[in-house]
Amino acid sequence: MSTDTSTDRTDRTDEPAWLLVTRREVVSRITDKSFLIGTALMVVMIVGFLGFTAWQDEKTDDVTLGATPDAVAMATAVKDGASAVDDKVRVAVVELDDDAAARAALREDDVDAWLHPAEDGDGWQLTSESSEQDSLTDVTEAVVRQQVLARNAADAGTSVDALEAGSSVTTSFLRGDAERAAVAEVVGFAFVFLFYFAALIFGMQLASSVIEEKQSRIVEIIAAAIPLRHLLAGKVLGNTALAVIQLLVYLVVGLVGMSFTSYKSYLPALSGPTAWFIGFFLAGFVALACLWAVAGSLASRTEDLQATSTPLTMLMLVMFFGGLSLDGRAQVIASFVPPVSAVVMPKRILAGGVEWWEPLVALGLLAAFAAVTVWVGEKLYRRALLQTGGRVSLRQAWSAAE
């Protein structure tokens, strides 16, 4: 009876039932204050992070280096050579009368550090009041090393270049470009985090809405009006659309903000990987969204969701930490294994060195996984949704009558 009624009512509508459900999901969420506030807060966080990065890029670290008479010449060399080592560090030299004056200057914060010969007579020592002066230490080490090498080379009748000949070490990757590695690591983390964040937040909300409809018995009224597969399709597509819209907002804000940092030269190289990430995100999210709907249909109360969603939560944690920690051969293999490939392959594309066919194969496998997940999930969803009286196991849902 319900099948005939739902068919008649669906035929009388101007558009498919799944489209009505999709529209309801999108409109109800996009006008929800918590959704808008959450999105705005994330945008503020992204802008704040990029703004801080841009500020750090432009920031000059002004440091004051104290020197007793036996170290004035070396301190002056540090001052003159600082910009060659780090153009963000500017050193000012303060001449001090003796060791006692240097210690007093440190205690009064008149100088950031005091340069003097080491007590054992071997090398130089940089003394600070109570904390390491990282930028000054790096500059001082580099300049002092260069000065001492030049002096020792002159004493030996040779040159620094001759002494250092053949000692340079460069890095390269069998796969990818070493120059892009740091940027790829940061952007790759952003990709993994955005996928995990969207799948978890929207997934939990999707599952909760399924439970609410089931617990209030509203779903029985909906089932009499439209096929349950249309209800599932509308929920999955609606949440997918919202997740993609939110993702695009974050990506646009991130890429525009990045243009104001020192990493703006990498923007052209990020356009391709970003497009691939959107494709992998779409396929991976559809698969997980369907599983979240199943988790909601297996529960009869909100309290049951933790139990029914535990396997899915564990899977997402594996994806998150796998996307962050895998490297080498393990990363290559994982980039073809759904659903982990949704976060691993875009990260590999970012690093470079990926053959043209690899993303296509990985995306095809992920799409096939999503299709199987949707097929299996649709059956479990329909068979578990109308069962009340307690939590439904996967075996009970699969063996239940249509």
Looking at residue 92, which CATH number applies to its domain? 3.40.190.10
Among 110, 64, 68, CA closest to 89: 64
pLDDT in tens, 277-299: 999 999 999 999 999 999 999 98
Among 19, 13, 9, 4, CA closest to 233: 19
Taking all residues of the chain, what is their mean pLDDT, rounded to a whole number? 85
Q: Is residue 213 part of a domain?
A: yes
Answer with the one of 99, 133, 161 that is the final residue of a domain: 161
Please give the pLDDT value at position 161.
78
- The β-bridge relationship of strands 113-117 and 61-67 is parallel
pTM greater than the 0.85 cutoff: no
Categorize the per-residue pLDDT at 5 as very low, low, confident or very high, splitting at 50, 70 and 90. Answer: very low
Please give the pLDDT value at position 6.
45
- By residue range, what is the domain housing residue 291? 2-54+177-399
Domains in the chain, number: 2
Answer with the one of 131, 161, 191 that is the final residue of a domain: 161
67 and 7 inside one domain: no
235 and 194 inside one domain: yes
Q: Is residue 94 part of a domain?
A: yes
Among 11, 18, 15, CA closest to 222: 18
312 token code pair: 């899915």
pLDDT in tens, 125-145: 888 887 777 888 888 888 888
pLDDT surpassing 80 at residue 56: no
Answer with the one of 161, 187, 206 that is the final residue of a domain: 161
34 and 75 inside one domain: no
278 and 336 inside one domain: yes
